[in-house]
Amino acid sequence: MATTSQVTGAWILIILYMGVILFFVIRGALKIKSISDYALGNIMFSPATVALSLAASMTSAATFVINPGFIANFGISGIISYGIVLPLASMISLAILTKSFRKYGQSVKALTLAQWIGDRYKSRNYALFMGFLSLLLLTFIVLIAVAITQVLSKALNADPVIVLVAIVVFIFGYMMFGGANSMVYTNTIQAGIMLVVAVILLTSGYEHFSQGIGNMMQKLAAIDPMLIKPTNPESPLFRDFYEIIFAQVVVGIAIVVQPHIITKSLLLKRESDVNRFLVIAVAAELLFFFVVVTGLYARLTFPDLSIDGVSLKNDAIIPTYVMQTFSNGFFAVVVGLLVVLGLLSAGISTLEGLIQSLSTTITSDIIRPLAGKRQFSDKAMIALNRSVIGLMAVVTIWLSYSQITAPKLSVGIFAQNGVYAYFASAFVPVIFGIYYKKMKASVAFIGTVIAFGVHFAVYYFMPFLVNEQGMYFGDFTRYLEGPVRNPAIACSTAVIISTVSVLIMILLDKKSDKPIQL
């Protein structure tokens, strides 16, 4: 429970934060004249500003709130997976893909990833299909809404459901008007706060490692010997190196094709700014990802993962740790409130990017094509986009409620399942679209369908065969058992099978007199 001074301070902080956000939203909204302005902005941004905006939007509440909870539960194996392997794979992928994607994106003036794919393959139907698949990103929006709710409800001693509704109404409300112009500024401010808070969180466990890392490992081993092992067979996510390393490398490479990440470079107006943009973004990201180490401090603070006899849910561990750690003395309370602000910033920055990219996709790549020959004015498109954001808010509240009241281990599992399915499906058309000029729409589309089907077959259908029908899939069976399954297994399998299938189709297509057609 937060103290009275913490609650009062949190209210003051929130009011000030809301004021700053609204200032930039109003400033950005005044410059929006079309849906293109909303999606990409019409202001000349510096590479540092865009880089910090990317770092903030790519690092979500999952990195600062949800994933450290997994580390508190399962230990070092989680740090290797979420703090080292995934970040390195995703940063290398970001550096390689950004330049190539940007060049094509600039030439076709793409506003969304679905539009980029449609233009690349000259297929409106493909763009429409990817637009519908982008609805899976709603699961990630739910994750962030739940994480922010957990942080604020702990800081204010308030009912999580009431906090959830207030958060969604406020953030979705101002995103109806701000768009990219305001988002880059707010994300930059949020990234600055997150950099400070990342350092605070990483050093908040000084008492635990001040006598050496070895001493800290001994304390963790005394709680549970599996916490210091590089693999944790008792966990549903970090059982062996296939899950911890191989699956996360594949996921890390593919994760960059999410629309709110890969399209960020299109905000740069000059090609000469790209290298500086990447250096700053990667440096900030690596620091943010390593914040998962805080999960070890939380486990040492709550050895049995409970407080006052009440078990802590995975998603509430870090918010509770923050309120407990920074509660004694005026200075500690102030620092604690800064940390709360950083946790909120981690969530809100990504949430803004998702709302902006997904609403633009729904408006431009689903509704407008389905409207046929009907023409929309710029004002009509902006009004339509605002209506879409309002509908997204309602759906977010509905889905988030169940994840707050009855999560299956964590909202992170729910979100990963949806988001991973999306970027597994987008991987083939983006990668082959960039690096293989002769890639055909029919082959790319088949690859997308295979990835989508394999992901959900592995996650839902194969476990049914294992658990209900008693079928055996060799060593792979162990990843399909139990009530909680790892979405990274489904995603990495989908990416590999779809990529190999497409390569085979390309080879057969080259040897055949009759090209592959849908």
Contacts of residue 88, defined as CB under 8 A and 6 or more positions apart, other chains included, come to 252
Residue 183 and residue 353 in contact, taking contact as beta carbons nearer than 8 Å = yes
What is the C-alpha to C-alpha distance for residues 92 and 432, in angstroms, rounded to an integer? Answer: 17
Read off the tokens for 395: 């759906």
Could you tell me the fold of the domain covering 4-8+46-409?
Sodium/glucose cotransporter (1.20.1730)
The pTM score is: 0.84
Cα 154 to Cα 2, 70, 149, distances in angstroms? 7, 19, 8
- Kind plus residue range of the DSSP H or E element containing 49: helix 47-58
Please choose, from the candidates 235, 274, 387, 247, the residue with its C-alpha nearest in 3D space to the C-alpha of residue 47: 274
Identify how many contiguous H helices and E strands the chain contains and give both numbers. 27, 2
Dmax over CA atoms of the chain, in Å, equals: 78
Q: How far apart are the first and last CA of the chain?
A: 59
**Residue 471 backbone dihedrals phi, psi, to 5 degrees:** -75, 155
Residue 9 and residue 331 in contact, taking contact as beta carbons nearer than 8 Å = no
Per-residue pLDDT of the chain (518 residues; tens, 9 = 90+): 677 888 888 899 889 888 888 887 777 666 666 666 565 555 566 788 888 878 876 776 778 888 999 999 999 999 999 999 999 999 998 888 887 777 665 555 556 778 888 888 989 899 999 999 999 989 989 998 998 998 899 888 899 999 999 999 998 988 887 666 566 677 777 778 888 889 999 999 888 888 888 999 999 999 999 999 999 998 989 999 999 999 999 998 888 876 657 767 777 777 778 888 899 989 999 999 999 999 999 999 999 999 888 888 888 899 899 888 887 777 788 888 888 888 888 788 778 878 888 888 898 889 888 887 777 777 788 888 889 999 999 999 999 998 888 877 788 888 889 989 998 999 999 889 888 888 999 999 999 999 999 999 999 988 888 877 777 777 788 888 777 888 999 999 999 999 999 999 998 877 664 544 44
SS3 69: helix
**Domain extents in the chain:** 4-8+46-409
Read off the tokens for 430: 């983006």
